[in-house]
Structure 1
Amino acid sequence: MAASSIAGDKTKTSDADLEKLPLRDVLAKLTVDPTQGLTAAEAQKRLDHYGPNALAEKTESFALKLIRHFMGPIAYMIEAAALVSAVIGHWEDFAIILGLLLFNVALELWQDRKASNALAALKKGLAPEATALRDGKWQTIDAAVLVPGDIVKIRLGVIVPADLRMVSGDYASIDQAALTGESLPVAKKVGDAAYSGSVVKQGEMEAVVIATGSSTFFGRTAKLVAGAGAVSHAQQAMFQIGNFLIAIAVVLAAIMVAVKVYHDIVIADTWGLKDALGILQFVLVLLVASIPVAMPTVFSITMALGALALSREKAIVSKLSAIEEMAGVSILCSDKTGTLTKNQLKLGEPILLAAADAQDCILAGALASRAEDRDAIDTAVIDALADRDALQPWKQLKFVPFDPVTKRTEATVADASGHKIVVAKGAPQAIVDLARPSKDIADRVTQTVAALAAKGSRALGVARSTDEGQSWTVLGILPMFDPPRDDSKATIERANAKGVSVKMVTGDDTAIAIETARQLGMGTNIIPAADAFPKDMDPNNVPPQIVDAIERADGFARVFPEHKYAIVKALQSRGHIVAMTGDGVNDAPALKQADCGTAVSGATDAARGAAALILTAPGLSVINSAIDEARRIFARITSYTIYRVTLTMDIMFLVVLSSIFLGFQPLTAVMIVVMSLLDDLPIMAIAYDNTRVSEKPIRWKLPRLLGVSATLGFFSIVQSFGLLLIGMEIIGHPAHGAALGLGTTHQLQTVMFLQLVAGGHLLLFVTRTERWFFLPPFPAATLFWAIVATQIVAVVMCAAGWLVEPISWRLIGAIWAYNIAWLFVMGAARLATERFADYRTDRHLASTQMVNQPLRTAP
C-alpha cells in the first residue's frame, strides 16, 4: 500500500476506532495478511509516513537553558542590582549579589533536570526490541521501526512494543496496572487490545500493530506529561512583590531626583557634574537597597530546610516549590490501589454451598492454584489457608492454567493414598456452567455474586469432582477484596481536619471504589470517569458542567490518564490548589500538572520523574506531616515578606521625605549598603524559626499581605521620621545635645542608621506571628542569636565609629528604648489591621451567601 493511501485511511479511521472495530475490519483497514505480515518495502513506506515508534522529544541546548534562567522579573532585578553595584564601584556588594544570582540559577537548573526525568523515565518503559513477521518470516527487529499493520508476537516477560489487537493464540495475561490503574493483570483473547508499555505475565499470542509512537495509549500519556506543569504560586508572588517594591522605589527616587535637581538648578544655581554624579550614586544605591535580591534565596533556603525535615519523614522532595504549594492544598486526589489500600488481594469469609467448612472450600481453591506462577488470585487463596501444611498430602498431577474462554483454572490432584480428585476455581458463572447444579444453587450463586459486587468485592467460585470430572459439586464462593491500609482512615480524617478534601481516583470499577470509600469513611459519590467525560473532550478545556460534577464528586472510578489530568486541570481552573498521588505511568501527566504531584512508595520511574514529592514509606500518612511542614514554611516566608516590604518602604520614604522637606540626607550610601547586608544576610535564619501550624489551607493573599505591610510601613515611617525630627530638634538646642552626645548632623545620620537596623530586626518579632510578639511560639534559637549578633555588630560600629560617625553609649541606649516602645505600637497596629481585614472578609462572605441563597416562596 502506498503512503498516500495510508494517509487516507489515517484520516478516516482513528486509533480509537481500530481498537474497537471488528478484527476482520481492522486487518482490512491495515491491509495486512496475519500469516505473512508486511513486506520490508511496505514497512519502510509506512515508517516514512507514520514516523518511528518512539516518543518525540524537543531538545534544547545547555546554553539556551542557562540563558533562560537568567531571564525573568526577579532575575532582571538581581542583575540590575549587580550592575549598579559595579558601576558605583561597590565590589563587595557586587560579589554578594552576584553570588545570590548564581545560587538561584544553579538551583533552578537542578530542578529543571529533575523535571525532565519524567519523559526519560517514560522512554525506559518502551520495549527496545520486538518479534515481528516481515516477508513471511519471524524476525527480531528494533521496536522503533514497528509500523501500523505489523504482525508481532508477544510472550511471557516481554514489554508490549506498541498498541495491538490480538489476532491468534490461546490467551495472554497482561499487567497494565501502570497504564490504566487496574489492580489485577487482564486476560486477553483474540480481538482484545493491548497497550504499549504493559508487561506480559502469562501466555503467548500474535497481534497486529494498530498504533505506534505518540499515537499509542502510552504516547498520549507522554504527550500529556510534556505539556503538563503549573507555575509555582511562590514564583508568582515573588514577581508581584518584587514589581511592587521596584515601582515604589522608582517613583520615590524620581520624585527625589526631580526635587533635588530643581533645587540645585533653579533655586541655588549651583548645578555641576559633581552634583549630578553624587545624586546618581545615591539614587542607584537606594535602588539597590530596595531590590529584594535576597528574597529568592530566603525562599529557597527555607524550602530546602523543609525538604530536609521531610526526608526524615521518608518523603523526598524533587521540586522545592511543591513544599510551599502543599500549604495551600485544598483538594488531595489520591490513587486507591496501593495507596489507600494494601494492593494485596485478601479473601473474605467464604460463602459455603456444599463445602463442609470454610477451610474445606479454601483448600479446594488452593489445590486449583499454582504458587510458582505468583498469580495474585492464586497467592491470595493459598495465603488464606489456616495451615499451609494442609497442602502437603496432595500432589498436583495436572494443572490447566486460566483460560479467558473457560475463565477458570483446573487441577487434578492425588492424596497420599493415591485417591484422585479434580478441583476448579474461577469466575462463578464459569463454575456454574461447569458443575450444572440445581436451579436453587445456581440462583444462590447469582445472588451472592451480585451482593458481593454491590460491596465492591470480587467473587471466585470453587468446585470439586471425585469422579475425574464426570460430575461436579459447587463448594462455595470466595469473596476477594483489596483491603484498606491500616492507617488510611486516620490519615484521611486528619487531612479533613486540616481543611483538605480527599478525592479517590482509581482505574477500578465503580462498585469497588464506592465500597473502599465507605470503609474509609469518605463520601460515596463516585463518578465513573469513562462515562462522565466525553470521548473527544480536550482535557485542557473541560466543559463547565463537568467541572461542576468534578467539584461535587468524592471520587472517580474507571479513569484513564487523560481523565486524571483533566480532573486536576478542572479543579485548578476553579481556584483549588491540588495535590495528586499516584504510582503508575498513567498517573504521570496528572502528577506533573498538579500543584504538588506525589509519587507513592513503589511508584514507577515515570511517576517519580513527574512528581514533586516522592514517598518512600507505604501509605499516605506522611502527607499530613508534609502539610504541617508546608504550613510552617509558608508562615516563615510570609513573615519575611511582610518584614522586607515594610522595611523597604521605611527606608525609601524616610530618605525621600527628609530630602524633600528637610533638605537632609538621613543616611549615607555606605550606611544603606551596610544596613542592607545586616538586614538580609542574618534574616535567612528565619528558615529555622518556630511557627504555628494553620488549621486551614493557606495561600498567597497579596492584597491582604501588602495591606498589612503598608500599614506597618506607615507606622515604621512615622517611627523613623519622628526620631529624625527629635534628633534635629536636639541638635538645635546644644544643651540637650551635649547631655545625650548628639551635636552634629553626621552623628544624627548614625542615629538613624542604628534606629533602622535595630528597629528592622525588632520588627521581625512582630511580622513572624499573628499574635502578640511576646506569646508563643517563641523565636527559634538560631534566629534569635542571629539577630543578637547583627545588633552587636551594629552597636559596636556606632560606638567605635566604623564607617559611621561615633555616638555615645547613652545615646545608643536611648535609641534602643525608643525602638522597644515602638515595638508595642507596631504589634498593636498589625493585630488591628488583620482583625479589620478578617471582619471585611467575613462580611463579604456573609453578603455573598445571602445573595446566592435561593428565594423562598411564601406558602
Structure 2
Amino acid sequence: MPQPGSAHNHSKATAALSGGTRVDLQTAAPDVVFTALNTSPEGLAQSEAEARLKRYGPNAIREKEKSALLRLLRFFWGPIPWMIEAAAALSALIGHWPDFAIIVALLLYNAAVGFWQEYKASSALAALKASMAPEAEILRDGEYKTLPASAVVPGDILRIKLGQIVPADVRFISGKSISIDQAALTGESLPVDKTVGDIGYSSSIAKRGEMVAVAIGTGANTFFGRTAKLVASAGRGISHSQKAVTRIGDFLIVLCLLLALLLVGTLLYRDVVLAADWRWSDLVNILRTVLVLLIASIPVAMPSVITVTNALGALALSRKKAIVSRLESIEELAGVDILCTDKTGTLTKNQLSLHSPQLFAAKDEASLILAAAIACEAGSTDPIDRAILAGLVDKRPLSNYRLQEFTPFDPVTKYAQARVTDPKGNSRFFCKGAPQAVITLCKLSGNRAGRASACVQKLAARGLRALAVASSNDGEHWSFLGILPLEDPPRDDSKQTISRARSHGLQVKMITGDDVAIGKEIAAQVGIGQNILAAGEVFAHTKNMDHLPKRVVDCVERADGFGRVFPEHKYAIVKALQGRGHQVAMTGDGVNDAPALKQADCGIAVSGATDAAQAAAAIILTAPGLSTVIDAIDEARKIFERIINYVLFRVSMTLDIMVVVVFATILFGFPPLTPIMIVLVALLDDIPIMTIAYDNTLLPKNPVHWNMHHLLLGATIIGLFSIAQTLGLLLIGMEWLQNSHWQSWISLNKAQVQTVLFLQIVAGGHLLLFIVRSRAAFFAKPLPAVKLLVAIVGTQALTVLMCGFGWLVAAIPWTVIGLVWLYMIAWMFVLDLVKKAIYLHLRDI
C-alpha cells in the first residue's frame, strides 16, 4: 500500500529553503530535510525549541470551544419552541399559572434532552486528543529528555522505541529498523516496517525495534491532525428527523396563525365592535380563547415522545449488540440505502490464515509449513507467525528442533532466519520472508525463478499475500522449499449478510486501506461485486473533497468498493453519495475512519474500534461482523414506523382540536374545551403513547424516509375526517341543549357538553392510533403490543372515571359515556377506510 502522501497531503508537509524553494519534507533527502528545518542530528537547543513552540504552537489538536450557554439557548429557538414559549407567555399574561408551569416544564425537558445529546456528540475531538502520545523522548541541548508530546516542534530529534506512540509526523534518520502499527490511521491490516528515510505518522505505535527520527510536522500539520480537522468540519448538521419536526412545527404555526386571525377577528367584531358596552375583560376573554387555541396547536410532547421512543428503541438495539450514542441516528439508520463497510474485521475475520501451500523443493505441505514454523520467533504475537503456527497441524516435530540463533525479520534483507539443531544433531538453517528476497537468497534462475515469480503474481492477483520459505545445511547454499499464501478470510456469515442487506434494499460498498487485488478477492467471496477501484486514482486530481467533479461522483456511485483508501477519500466518498441524495451508513474502527463516520448519515463504529472512531460514530457495535448492522437496520426501521404512526396520530389530532376550538367558538359562542382540558388531553394522549416504542409493527422491506409532503397530506385528510367526527358530536350536543324533549331524557349543560367533547377527543385519539398504526385493517395483525394496550386501556379507564365522577371536569351521566363510546366505535370503521385509501394512493408515507 502506498504511503498516505497524496498531493492533498504533501502540501501540508513542506518547508522553504533559504532561496524560497518549497521542499516536500515527506520525500526529500535527509540532508535537505535538515537544511529546510534548520536542524541537525544533534537536535535543537532548548531556547530554539521554545521559540519554535511559540511560532508553530503546541503539538496538539486545537478546537473552537462553543459556549455551553449558547448551545443550550439554541434549543429554545425554532418553530415548536416558539409556539410553546408564546403559550407560556400568554398563560402568564392572563394568570393561568397551572398551565404556565406545565408548559414551561415541557419546554425545559425538550431543551435538556437535546442539549445532552449534542454534548455527547461533541466528544469526538476529545477522544482524538486523548489518543495523542502523552510523552516523547526529545534530544535537547545534546541529551535525550522525556517531555510532554505537546512540546515537540518541527526539527526536534526524537527517539522512538517499542511500545511508544509516535508523537509527530517524522522521518526516520538512524537505526536498523522499526515496525509501526498505523492501521488506525491508514487502514492497513499489518504493521509496516520502516527504515532510514521512511515516514512515521503521528499517533501510530511502534511494535518492534527502535529508531531515531526528525519531526517534520506537529499538531494540525500532521497526518493525524488533518484527520482531526476533517472530523471538526464533518457532519450533516441538522438531521432528517430534526428537519421533519421543524416542518411539522412550521405547518402547525401557519395553520394556527390563520385560525387565530379568523378567531380574533370574529371575536373582536362581535364582542367589541358590535357591543355597546364592551369592557377590558372582554379582551381578556379573547386572549383566554386564543390561549386555548395556541395550546391546542402545539404538539408540546412531540419532541419528548420522539426522544423517548428513540431511547426505548436504543435499548432494544443494545440487546442486538448496537449501542446508540445519538438518538436521532436511529431514524437516519432506517433510511440508509448505501452501506459503506470496511473490510478487515468486519467482512473478514482479521486473522491471517494459511491458504493452499505452493510446493517447490519441499516434499509435502506439512514439511513446508514446519520449515516456516521453525523460522518463527518463539512466543511471537506477529500475525504471520501466529498464522503459520496455527496452520501446523502436528506441532510435535517442531519440538525436535533446538534453536541456536534467531534473526528477526529485517526490512533490509526482508526475511527472518533461524539456526537450529535438527533431530540428528546436525546444524540447519531455515528462513521465511518476502518472495523476491528469498528467491535472490536461493539464487533461483531460469524456469524455477520464472515459476516462483509467476506463482507470486498469481497469488497477488487473487489478493493473497505470499511468504517464501527456504532451508540450508550450511547457511550459504539455500534450497527454495515453496510459497505459503496468506489470507484474511471472510467471516463465516459475511456472504449471507451481504445477501440479506440487498434483500433489504441496501447497496453495499467495501472501503479498505488494503490493495485493490485483496479487495477484489474478498468482494468476490462475499458477493459484493468486482468493480473495486483504487481510491487514489479516482480522486487523483481532486483538491477540494467538499466539491467533487461530476465524473468523480458518477464513479463513486457506480463502484462496488475502493482499495488503498485514505481518510480524506472515505470522507469524500460519503460526501459524494450524499450529494446524490443517498443516505449513507459508514462502518469503521480507526482514527482514519473518524471523519467519514461523523460525516455519514449514520456512522457505525465496529467492535474493537478506537475511542476516536466511537466518539465520531452514532452507533457503536459490541459484536464483530456486519450482521449486527443489518439487525440494527431492521430494528431502526421498526422504530421509524412507530414514530411515523405517532406523527400521523399527533398531527391529525392537533388539527382536530384546533379547528373544533375555532369553529365552535365562532358558531356557538363558547370554547368547546377549557385550557385545563387541553393540557389534560396532551398528558392523557401522549404519556401512555410513549409505550408505542414497544409496539408490534411490520418490517419495511426498503429504506424508509421522511416524505413530509405525503405525511402532512395524509395527516390532514385523516384530521379532516376526525374534525367531522368531533363537530358531529358537538352539533348533537348543542341540539341536545336546545331540544327540550332530549333534555327531559338526560339533562346536559354547556360544561357537560365540554366534558363530552373531552371524552371523545381523548378516547377517540387513542382509537385513531389503533387505526393509523396498521397499514391494513385496524384489527389485522400485527396486533398492538401488550404494554401499549395496557397503557391505553388504563388511560381510557381513568378518562371514563374522570368524566363519570367529575374529576377536573364536569361530571356527565354514565349513559352518555356509553353513547359516546358507541359513536366513536362506529367512526373507527369510517376512519379505517379513509386510512386504507390514503395508504393506497400515498404508498411512501
Q: Distance in 2 between matches of 1:224 and 1:310?
A: 29
The 1:796–1:143 alpha-carbon spacing in structure 2 relative to 1, beyond 3 Å, is closer
Q: Distance in 1 between matches of 2:69 and 2:773?
A: 41
Partner of 2:812: 807
The 1:133–1:658 alpha-carbon spacing in structure 2 relative to 1, beyond 3 Å, is same
What is the correspondence of 1:287-366 to structure 2 with a 5 Å cutoff?
287-366=294-373
Deviations 1:515-556 (A, max 9, x none): 000000111111211121136522222222211111111111
What is the correspondence of 1:599-614 to structure 2 with a 5 Å cutoff?
599-614=605-620
Aligned partner (choices 779, 782, 785) of residue 777 of structure 1: 782
Residue 709 of structure 1 deviates from its aligned partner by 0.4
Partner of 2:399: 392
Partner of 1:759: 764
Q: Distance in 2 between matches of 1:376 and 1:676?
A: 61
Secondary structure of the structure 2 residue equivalent to 1:373: coil
Higher mean C-alpha displacement, 501-510 vs 366-375: 366-375
Residue 364 of structure 1 deviates from its aligned partner by 0.7
The 1:258–1:687 alpha-carbon spacing in structure 2 relative to 1, beyond 3 Å, is same
Q: Distance in 2 between matches of 1:620 and 1:184?
A: 21
Aligned partner (choices 187, 191, 216) of residue 185 of structure 1: 191
The 1:658–1:74 alpha-carbon spacing in structure 2 relative to 1, beyond 3 Å, is closer
On the 8 A contact 2:516/2:564 being kept in 1, the answer is: yes
What is the correspondence of 1:205-604 to structure 2 with a 5 Å cutoff?
205-230=211-236, 231-466=238-473, 468-534=474-540, 537-604=543-610
Secondary structure of the structure 1 residue equivalent to 2:775: coil
Higher mean C-alpha displacement, 369-378 vs 106-115: 106-115
On the 8 A contact 1:302/1:687 being kept in 2, the answer is: yes
Partner of 2:5: none
The 1:744–1:470 alpha-carbon spacing in structure 2 relative to 1, beyond 3 Å, is closer
Secondary structure of the structure 1 residue equivalent to 2:193: strand
Q: Distance in 2 between matches of 1:673 and 1:606?
A: 44
Structure 2 stretches lacking a partner, 5+ long: 1-13
Amino acid of the residue matched to residue 251 of structure 1? Answer: L
Secondary structure of the structure 2 residue equivalent to 1:280: helix
Residue 743 of structure 1 deviates from its aligned partner by 4.5
On the 8 A contact 1:742/1:748 being kept in 2, the answer is: no
Residue 167 of structure 1 deviates from its aligned partner by 1.6
Aligned partner (choices 785, 791, 794) of residue 786 of structure 1: 791
Secondary structure of the structure 1 residue equivalent to 2:210: strand
Amino acid of the residue matched to residue 738 of structure 1? Answer: S
Secondary structure of the structure 2 residue equivalent to 1:166: strand
The 1:287–1:738 alpha-carbon spacing in structure 2 relative to 1, beyond 3 Å, is same
Deviations 1:47-81 (A, max 9, x none): 22211111112234444443344444433333333
Q: Distance in 2 between matches of 1:483 and 1:745?
A: 77
Secondary structure of the structure 2 residue equivalent to 1:19: coil
Partner of 2:687: 681
On the 8 A contact 2:295/2:675 being kept in 1, the answer is: no
Q: Distance in 1 between matches of 2:99 and 2:634?
A: 37
Higher mean C-alpha displacement, 654-663 vs 354-363: 654-663
Residue 473 of structure 1 deviates from its aligned partner by 0.8
Secondary structure of the structure 2 residue equivalent to 1:559: coil
CA RMSD in angstroms comes to 2.1
On the 8 A contact 1:317/1:613 being kept in 2, the answer is: yes
Partner of 2:663: 657
Q: Distance in 2 between matches of 1:275 and 1:245?
A: 27
Secondary structure of the structure 1 residue equivalent to 2:425: coil
Secondary structure of the structure 2 residue equivalent to 1:598: strand
On the 8 A contact 2:181/2:207 being kept in 1, the answer is: yes
Secondary structure of the structure 2 residue equivalent to 1:822: helix
Residue 514 of structure 1 deviates from its aligned partner by 0.5
Amino acid of the residue matched to residue 824 of structure 1? Answer: F
Q: Distance in 2 between matches of 1:835 and 1:24?
A: 75
Residue 728 of structure 1 deviates from its aligned partner by 2.7
Secondary structure of the structure 2 residue equivalent to 1:286: helix
Secondary structure of the structure 2 residue equivalent to 1:201: strand
Q: Distance in 2 between matches of 1:528 and 1:22?
A: 28
Secondary structure of the structure 1 residue equivalent to 2:842: helix
Aligned partner (choices 716, 729, 733) of residue 727 of structure 1: 733
Partner of 1:56: 62
Q: Distance in 2 between matches of 1:206 and 1:676?
A: 69
On the 8 A contact 1:639/1:764 being kept in 2, the answer is: yes
Deviations 1:570-605 (A, max 9, x none): 211221111111111111111111121111111111
Identity among equivalent positions (%) equals 56
1:834 aligns with 2:833: no
Amino acid of the residue matched to residue 278 of structure 1? Answer: N
Residue 218 of structure 1 deviates from its aligned partner by 0.4
Q: Distance in 1 between matches of 2:760 and 2:775?
A: 24
Residue 12 of structure 1 deviates from its aligned partner by 6.5
Q: Distance in 1 between matches of 2:665 and 2:777?
A: 35
On the 8 A contact 1:286/1:672 being kept in 2, the answer is: no
Secondary structure of the structure 2 residue equivalent to 1:153: strand
The 1:658–1:14 alpha-carbon spacing in structure 2 relative to 1, beyond 3 Å, is farther
Q: Distance in 2 between matches of 1:380 and 1:667?
A: 75
On the 8 A contact 2:352/2:487 being kept in 1, the answer is: yes
Higher mean C-alpha displacement, 171-180 vs 656-665: 656-665
Aligned residues: 831
On the 8 A contact 2:156/2:215 being kept in 1, the answer is: yes
What TM-score do the two structures reach when normalised by structure 1? 0.93
Amino acid of the residue matched to residue 838 of structure 2? Answer: T
Secondary structure of the structure 1 residue equivalent to 2:104: helix
Residue 449 of structure 1 deviates from its aligned partner by 0.7
Aligned partner (choices 677, 682, 701) of residue 695 of structure 1: 701
Partner of 1:857: none
Q: Distance in 2 between matches of 1:9 and 1:691?
A: 68
Residue 323 of structure 1 deviates from its aligned partner by 1.3
The 1:549–1:302 alpha-carbon spacing in structure 2 relative to 1, beyond 3 Å, is same
Q: Which runs of 4+ in 1 moved over 4 A?
A: 6-15
Q: Distance in 2 between matches of 1:246 and 1:121?
A: 41
Q: Distance in 2 between matches of 1:437 and 1:683?
A: 77
Partner of 1:825: 830
Residue 342 of structure 1 deviates from its aligned partner by 0.8
Amino acid of the residue matched to residue 162 of structure 2? Answer: L
Residue 206 of structure 1 deviates from its aligned partner by 1.6
The 1:804–1:106 alpha-carbon spacing in structure 2 relative to 1, beyond 3 Å, is closer
Q: Distance in 2 between matches of 1:111 and 1:743?
A: 50
Q: Distance in 2 between matches of 1:341 and 1:95?
A: 56
Secondary structure of the structure 2 residue equivalent to 1:747: helix
The 1:743–1:201 alpha-carbon spacing in structure 2 relative to 1, beyond 3 Å, is closer
On the 8 A contact 2:272/2:282 being kept in 1, the answer is: no
Residue 820 of structure 1 deviates from its aligned partner by 1.1
Q: Distance in 1 between matches of 2:754 and 2:648?
A: 26
On the 8 A contact 1:85/1:285 being kept in 2, the answer is: no
The 1:833–1:787 alpha-carbon spacing in structure 2 relative to 1, beyond 3 Å, is same
Amino acid of the residue matched to residue 815 of structure 1? Answer: V
Amino acid of the residue matched to residue 355 of structure 2? Answer: G
1:745 aligns with 2:750: yes
Q: Distance in 2 between matches of 1:79 and 1:9?
A: 62
What TM-score do the two structures reach when normalised by structure 2? 0.95
Higher mean C-alpha displacement, 72-81 vs 361-370: 72-81
Residue 11 of structure 1 deviates from its aligned partner by 12
Deviations 1:210-262 (A, max 9, x none): 11100100001111112222222111111111121122112201210101111
Q: Distance in 2 between matches of 1:216 and 1:439?
A: 47
Q: Distance in 2 between matches of 1:388 and 1:101?
A: 69
1:94 aligns with 2:93: no
On the 8 A contact 2:533/2:559 being kept in 1, the answer is: yes
